[in-house]
């Protein structure tokens, strides 16, 4: 049943290839237009992919981890009274699952207060952390001066770049932290500045201070932590880890929150860039469709006599229709493969050289950009070439198949 159809399709494809090679200049122009569109789309999309990946991993490795475990209601009501939602010290209840590994579980104690150095005083948002457990979570933190908490004394602190600049603090200086304790009293500790750090988020660096968690507990006169931060072996395992931890932890006692529920700025950036990519995709598709439709329409006009002769010899209208559509299909296939291949090579070369970028909004430092063309993006680029070329060939093919035989034979004679 399918043999005649397959045989005819093979014959149409061969004839389409022959027709395309007859007009090499026009065919090369059409391929250049389609390939240019695919390459532009993939390079732009690959750059956005890399930016989003860098932002995601920076937020995960410097602030959020992959999963945060808290008491129920902490993220909703904890801002006013965080110590009503304290967790204990037993981290052994958090275990890896069959589909994911845990790199570290780091307890954190959130607190706020006033930071003083000499006559200067400024408010801060602090985190008490376990210096050793936080080492795997420090991939997105850059120590600009001094050292980190893991290599400093127990009575040390590290300050965000903006916070340190506002109070003119440097490594080795003595600062005083004053805070309202969980019971409503006032307490203070004197610490030495071990280092100055920076993260991808400037707003965080302008207010943040980190101290050993035992210092934070002593300052706030509490025991335990406000959150446990879990770092996994792979970001792609986040959903599996969340499901496993929710099933293993006592119901009603813990909230297991994935990082993407807490990364509001990242989520909005993804939405914005997604809209931009779709707009670029639509614009390129329209340009390619119009260009290929115009190119094939010219081919139909030039081959009018040939089309009339073919129909006079018994070729059916659907055969003429199929022939021109096959030309579009072949163009789309070849251009899609070439465009994706060239984009992958260019992406590698550009990534090796790097793209110097200025500091984006909300960040204090520039970065060197790269191109990350994922498999899904490459498939999307190929489909852009194939589908738009196929659609663009339908109208010229339809016009060719609707020609009047007598008028076609008398064309330019």
Mean pLDDT lowest for which of 104-113, 118-127, 207-216, 309-318?
Answer: 309-318
Instruction: Give the model's confidence band at 201: pLDDT under 50 very low, under 70 low, under 90 confident, else very high.
Output: confident
Report the pLDDT value the prediction gives residue 395, as an integer from 0 to 100: 79
Mean pLDDT of 135-163: 88
**Per-residue model confidence as pLDDT tens digits over 339-365:** 999 999 999 999 888 888 776 665 666
What is the DSSP code (8-state) at residue 64? I
Say whether pLDDT at 23 is over 80: no
Instruction: Give the model's confidence band at 3: pLDDT under 50 very low, under 70 low, under 90 confident, else very high.
Output: low
Helix (H, G, I), strand (E, B) or coil at 225: strand
Helix (H, G, I), strand (E, B) or coil at 313: coil
Report the pLDDT value the prediction gives residue 413, as an integer from 0 to 100: 47
Report the pLDDT value the prediction gives residue 407, as an integer from 0 to 100: 61
Mean pLDDT lowest for which of 54-68, 186-200, 205-219, 394-408?
Answer: 394-408
Mean pLDDT of 43-53: 89
Alpha carbon of 58 to those of 186, 236, 374: distances in Å?
Answer: 35, 15, 19
Say whether pLDDT at 149 is over 50: yes
Asked if residue 372 lies in contact with residue 53, where contact means CB atoms within 8 angstroms, the answer is: yes
Asked if residue 392 lies in contact with residue 288, where contact means CB atoms within 8 angstroms, the answer is: yes
> Do the strands 367-369 and 355-357 form a parallel or antiparallel pair, or are they unpaired?
antiparallel
To the nearest whole percent, how much of the chain has pLDDT over 90?
Answer: 24
The C-alpha atoms of residue 230 and residue 91 are separated, in whole angstroms, by 10
Say whether pLDDT at 406 is over 70: no
Mean pLDDT of 48-60: 85
The C-alpha atoms of residue 74 and residue 81 are separated, in whole angstroms, by 9
Say whether pLDDT at 266 is over 90: no
Report the pLDDT value the prediction gives residue 405, as an integer from 0 to 100: 66
The C-alpha atoms of residue 65 and residue 334 are separated, in whole angstroms, by 44
**Per-residue model confidence as pLDDT tens digits over 152-163:** 888 999 999 999
Report the pLDDT value the prediction gives residue 279, as an integer from 0 to 100: 87
**Per-residue model confidence as pLDDT tens digits over 95-133:** 887 888 899 899 999 999 999 998 889 999 999 999 998
Kindly compute the dihedral angle of the four CA atoms of residues 122, 123, 128, 129, in this order, to the nearest 10 degrees: -70
The C-alpha atoms of residue 391 and residue 27 are separated, in whole angstroms, by 17
Report the pLDDT value the prediction gives residue 8, as an integer from 0 to 100: 58
Report the pLDDT value the prediction gives residue 194, as an integer from 0 to 100: 92
pTM: predicted TM-score of the whole model, two decimal places: 0.77
**Per-residue model confidence as pLDDT tens digits over 220-229:** 999 889 999 9
> Which span out of 219-233, 272-286, 303-317 was modeled with the highest average pLDDT?
219-233
Instruction: Give the model's confidence band at 219: pLDDT under 50 very low, under 70 low, under 90 confident, else very high.
Output: very high
Mean pLDDT of 216-243: 90
The C-alpha atoms of residue 72 and residue 49 are separated, in whole angstroms, by 34
């Amino acid at each position: 049943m399918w043999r005649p159809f397959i045989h005819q399709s093979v014959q149409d494809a061969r004839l389409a290839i022959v027709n395309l090679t007859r007009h090499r200049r026009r065919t090369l122009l059409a391929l250049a237009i389609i390939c240019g569109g695919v390459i532009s789309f993939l390079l732009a999309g690959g750059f956005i992919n890399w930016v989003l990946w860098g932002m995601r991993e920076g937020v995960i490795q410097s602030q959020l981890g992959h999963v945060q475990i808290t008491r129920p209601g902490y993220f909703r009501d904890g801002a006013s009274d965080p110590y009503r939602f304290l967790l204990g010290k037993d981290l052994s209840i958090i275990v890896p699952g069959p589909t994911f590994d845990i790199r570290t579980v780091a307890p954190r104690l959130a607190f706020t207060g006033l930071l003083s150095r000499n006559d200067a005083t400024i408010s801060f948002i602090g985190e008490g952390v376990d210096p050793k457990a936080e080492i795997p979570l420090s991939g997105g933190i850059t120590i600009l001066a001094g050292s980190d908490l893991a290599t400093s004394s127990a009575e040390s602190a590290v300050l965000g770049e903006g916070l340190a600049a506002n109070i003119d603090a440097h490594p080795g200086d003595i600062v005083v932290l004053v805070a309202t304790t969980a019971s409503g009293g006032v307490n203070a500790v004197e610490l030495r500045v071990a280092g100055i750090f920076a993260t991808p988020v400037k707003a965080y660096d302008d207010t943040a201070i980190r101290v050993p968690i035992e210092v934070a507990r002593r300052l706030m006169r509490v025991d335990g932590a406000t959150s446990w931060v879990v770092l996994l072996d792979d970001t792609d395992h986040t959903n599996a880890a969340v499901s496993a931890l929710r099933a293993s932890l006592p119901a009603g006692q813990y909230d297991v929150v994935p990082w993407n529920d807490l990364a509001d700025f990242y989520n909005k950036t993804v939405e914005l860039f997604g809209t931009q990519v779709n707009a670029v995709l639509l614009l390129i598709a329209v340009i390619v469709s119009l260009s290929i439709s115009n190119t094939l329409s010219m081919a139909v006009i030039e081959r009018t006599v040939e089309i009339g002769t073919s129909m006079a010899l018994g070729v059916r209208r659907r055969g003429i229709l199929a022939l021109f559509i096959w030309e579009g299909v072949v163009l789309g296939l070849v251009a899609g493969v070439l465009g994706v291949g060239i984009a992958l090579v260019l992406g590698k070369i550009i990534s090796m050289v790097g793209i110097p970028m200025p500091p984006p909004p909300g960040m204090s430092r520039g970065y060197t950009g790269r191109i990350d063309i994922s498999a899904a993006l490459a498939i999307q680029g190929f489909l852009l070439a194939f589908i738009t070329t196929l659609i663009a060939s339908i109208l010229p093919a339809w016009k060719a198949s609707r020609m009047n035989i007598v008028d076609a034979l008398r064309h330019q004679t």
